[in-house]
Amino acid sequence: MAGKYRRFTLAQGATICVIGLALGALAWQLGVVSTQYPLLLRVLFLLFAWFSFWFFIHGLTHHAVGKMFGIRFQYYFLGRSAIRKLNLPLVSSLMWKVPVFVLKVDRSSLRGASPRRRRWMYASGAVASMGLPWIIVPSSFSLGPNWVGVFFVMLVLGNTLFTLYFSPKTGDLYRAKLVKG
């Protein structure tokens, strides 16, 4: 699968993730602190922050948890979400078009890790992608109109519910569930 997509060394991939998270944090702060910007621009800053916190934390968390547990990786690459395999009319077609940042696991180190550690490594990306975006919700209510805060609650809650429903069927939570032992 990775042969079709752009590969990144582990250092490059981790750096891209860290920069993406830093840009998300900057956008978050610009959206909240910079009151001179119009509301629409501030909402767009928060949307960018939400996307960054959702997208870039995922692979980086797999990488960090895997490293902590002795699981090695070969490289990062831009791939496709496993959710596309569910054959859901709108969702699957969208997931074919949206790239995700993927880590290629070193199978020998994965086999050497305990089942509990493998489960944690697999689940960590989904948990982080559900959890980190919640940090922007309180500040989204400070932008003025309540609809902004409600919008971000719905966005983050929608992401959490989507992940909790679909990931156990084919994603990271599915892989964690498959680990025997």
pLDDT 10s digits, 116-158: 999 999 999 999 999 999 999 999 999 989 999 999 999 999 9
Of 49, 23, 61, give the one whose Cα is nearest residue 138.
49
Of 50, 26, 46, 18, give the one whose Cα is nearest residue 130.
50
C-alpha to C-alpha distance for 121 and 65, rounded to whole angstroms: 6
The total number of residues written for the chain in this structure = 181
% of the chain with per-residue pLDDT over 90: 78
Of 12, 175, 170, 5, give the one whose Cα is nearest residue 91.
170
pLDDT 10s digits, 29-73: 999 998 899 999 999 999 999 999 999 999 999 999 999 999 999
**Mean pLDDT, the chain, whole residue set:** 92
Which residues are CB-contacts of 26 (< 8 A; sequence separation ≥ 6)? none
Tokens linked to 176: 């964690």
